[in-house]
Amino acid sequence: MASEADEESEVLTAEVPAELAGERIDKALAGLMPMLSRARLQALLAEGRVSRDGEAVDAKAKARAGTYAIAVPPPEPAEPQAEAIPLTVLYEDAHLIVVDKPAGMAMHPAVGSERGTLVNALLAHCGASLSGIGGVARPGIVHRIDKETSGVVVAAKTDAAHQSLSALFAAHDIDRLYVALTRGAPYPVHGTIEGAIARSTHDRKKMALVKSGGRHAVTHYSVEKMFGPQEKPLAARVACRLETGRTHQIRVHLASKGTPCLGDPTYGSGPPAETVREAIRAAGLKRQALHAAVLGFRHPVTGEQLRFESPLPADMAKLEALLARL
């Protein structure tokens, strides 16, 4: 997945000549851009940071003549510091730790969020036992949720657990359920949103649905409650079950239905009704109304089936109560 600090990325361009057409794209670009190693380019391709004509380039694609853009993120802090930040620990053993992350906490250090992240807190809580597979700046991190999204996340304390958990996520063998409070209600009330997601060509801070390129993304949703007139709901509580896990996936997919998460500053695409805006203000919601409510998986070492649930945090719970009065 791409970093949350993409607005800080440096965009480099490379002109691929006709004689390099047909070569592996990573090899062709490595020859044209000596400041980037082939391994680095492969990683950037995998993260969707290489584009041609505004479309993300597949990591296995063959080079074509033309101009390629490479968005290179700034270097992250090499040595994140342990910080004694209180954590809500739902489960912990010698292999992994499951935490209920609050909104406002970034997963790992990045430009603009060097301190106060989950990694900083885990370093203090777990000491040196975190898996190193995620790299120096991301020890133990197996998956991510957005900084302003709250809810359940798992981190690995051993490399073996990290590899096994990563394989489960890659195989979509994880139960991930999110609760969103949306502007209006998606129609039909039960359905599947399927559409590839890539970095927006108009705004590097945003992701977007694309017709070609990008990464395959599938979200299954179900409207649990509707608020306001039933014939034209003003808001809804929507359960979203992830089949894939792309950057901003639920936020992009719900917005594509014309029903973005309430309070979403990036994908809101227009204000909700005044009564809903009043409820948002009264609830003190200052972020997208999205919560990772359930995380279930098979323990990578013991084989035990684990399932963790997190209730709505105070801001979303109060907002839901206020919406129920509409």
Identity of the amino acid at 246: R
116 Rama class: left (phi>0) / alpha (psi -120 to 50) / beta: left
Query: Residues 201, 217: contact at Cβ < 8 Å?
Result: no
With a CB cutoff of 8 Å and minimum separation 6, the contacts of 218 are 192, 193, 194, 242, 243, 244
Q: Residue 322 has which token pair? A: 């206020």
146 catalytically annotated: yes
Query: Residues 7, 48: contact at Cβ < 8 Å?
Result: no
CA distances from 151 to 77, 155, 245, 292, 294 (A): 25, 13, 15, 4, 8
Catalytic residue among 146, 159, 173, 203: 146
Q: Is 79 exposed, middle or buried (0-12, 13-18, 19+ CB in 10 A)?
A: exposed
Identity of the amino acid at 86: P
Q: In the structure, how many helices (H) and strands (E) does the chain have?
A: 7, 15
Write out the catalytic residue numbers: 146
